[in-house]
Amino acid sequence: MSQTFDVVVIGGGPGGYIAAIRAAQLGFKVACIDEWQNAAGGPAPGGTCTNVGCIPSKALLQSSEHFDHANHHFADHGITATNVKIDIAKMIGRKDTVVKQNNDGILYLFKKNKITFFHGRGSFAKAVETGYEIQVTGAKEELLTARQIIVATGSNARALPGTPFDEETVLSNDGALRIGAVPKKLVLIGSGVIGLEMGSVWRRLGSDVTILEGLPTFLGAVDEQIAKEAKKAFDKQGLKIELGVKVGEIKTSKKGVSVAYTNAKGEAQSLDADKLIVSIGRVPNTIGLNAEAVGLQLDERGAIVVDAECRTNLKGVWAVGDVVRGPMLAHKAEEEGVAVAERIAGQHGHVNFNTIPWVIYTSPEIAWVGETEQQLKARGAAYKAGTFPFLANGRARALGDTTGMVKFLADATTDEILGVHIVGPMASELIAEAVVAMEFKASAEDIARICHAHPSLSEATKEAALAVDKRTLNF
């Protein structure tokens, strides 16, 4: 006998659990299936984001930043901190506690919203007159039926061909978040978001870190001026980033790992390290979904094919988050989840892909929304640019962190904001104002005329907006 629901969500990451909550709010009878297990084999909803992504990486970034400040910045404030030590087991334990708080929070939200949670793997059994049958396999076998299915099965780390993750020496994001002792030498392949965030964590804790990047440009998707400023800061910190390399043979042994590569000049090189983190992107995950049983269409990368509104090729089957096209970001997955639940309810759910913010949580933080200067140039847009350095911001001076700038790009004729790019302290929080402004189609002058609290980092945003019209007040 199968249990019948209005909506079954497969996957309990940010895409899935948020879709389930929104669907329940709209009055549907909802089930959510998620297979993630904690160390004790119990349920751990929240997906990659909660278990081995956004949340644990930010916990370690915070701990390592405190350590870095105690070692290198407290003295500026007249604080003596000698013999500063880091207890890695405790730091990892704290991170695990933060993860568990989030897992428990989601289980509580399921209860609060009367969502039936199944801990196990969900897979398509067959299409039936009343929708689809979904088989749940786990501690308990269940058969569910629903007319509406939302697939939110996320993504997995991409391995280098011939070098599988062993999570001991060759680490994905999973192993990178639970290294038991500071590696003397750490190599990362890929200087994207994970490479920079995880490289920063272990460098701050004392590792000699080298990141090998295949592309000749650093952070090609980021505004060039911002990427250049960030690179300068990383170089100063001693985070070694080699661009334009071609990774060759990777050998692991009891002692660690050896990575052969050709550098940008074409010279053969090799690096020995205790650990290797491979952060070369992620692949959509449909393992175990049994997509074939119902003819769910996948593309050549294994992503579920969807239209702009997350509809798959099957009536009543939707897909959201990392398993479909678009940026692999938790907030993008959440917005798609909400929009799909609203569409199922006959409402007009909407996701504006032009205003999805990006944040890299390094120090300095890098955050942006909208188009970069190189993108505007490439499409021949007439634009004006304005920048303001944190060096000239009172709050940044008081904080002792004046690295970086805020940059505004606005339409030359209408003054509409086309992109905002930030490298500097708390860029992750500052970017929200730019997102709101762009959602409301604000002009640079709108931001320039809004009263911003003094002293605050957000004054740099106002000043960058003023800079578009060449009338900064404090620089």
* Per CB under 6 A, 335 contacts ligand NAI: no
DSSP state of 291: G
- Beta-carbon contacts of 211 under 8 Å, excluding residues fewer than 6 positions away, are 187, 188, 189, 190, 191, 195, 196, 199, 239, 240, 241, 242
Residues 80-119 that bind ligand NAI (CB under 6 A): none
Question: Which amino acid, residue 361?
Answer: Y
Cα(172)–Cα(165) distance, integer angstroms: 6
Torsion, CA 200, CA 202, CA 203, CA 208, rounded to 10? -130
Give 276's strand partners. Answer: 170, 187
274 to 303: interface string for ligand NAI, x by CB under 6 A: -----xxxx---------------------
Taking CB positions, which residue lies at the least distance from ligand NAI? Answer: 192
For the sheet containing 365-370, what is the strand order?
358-360, 365-370, 417-424, 405-411, 383-389
Q: What is the rounded CA–CA span in Å between residue 123 and residue 137? A: 8
Nearest alpha carbon to residue 366 among 217, 469, 234, 172: 234
Pick the binder of ligand NAI from 214, 302, 394, 455 (CB under 6 A).
Answer: 214
In the complex, the smallest distance separating the C-beta of residue 232 from ligand NAI, rounded to whole angstroms, is 18
Residue closer to ligand NAI, measured from CB, 281 or 400? 281
Q: Pick the piece of the chain touching ligand NAI (CB under 6 A) from 84-92, 206-214, 263-271, 378-386.
A: 206-214
> Considering CB distances under 5 to 8 angstroms, the limit depending on partner class, which of ligand NAI, ligand FAD, none binds residue 191?
ligand NAI
Residue 447 lies near ligand FAD (rule: CB under 6 A): no
Q: Active site includes 66?
A: no
Among 195, 256, 321, 364, binds ligand NAI (CB under 6 A): 195
Under the criterion CB under 6 A, does residue 213 sit at the interface with ligand NAI? yes
Binding span for ligand FAD by CB under 6 A among 151-159, 213-221, 291-299, 340-348: 151-159
Per DSSP bridges, beta strands 142-151 and 317-319 are parallel
Mark the segment that binds ligand NAI (CB under 6 A) among 21-29, 235-243, 323-331, 417-425: 323-331
Q: How far apart are CA 229 and CA 206, in angstroms?
A: 23
Q: Interface with ligand FAD includes 237 (CB under 6 A)?
A: no
Please choose, out of 92-100, 210-218, 241-249, 330-338, the segment that lies near ligand FAD by the rule CB under 6 A. 330-338
Q: Which of 121, 231, 275, 395 binds ligand FAD (CB under 6 A)?
A: 121
Report the catalytic residues.
454
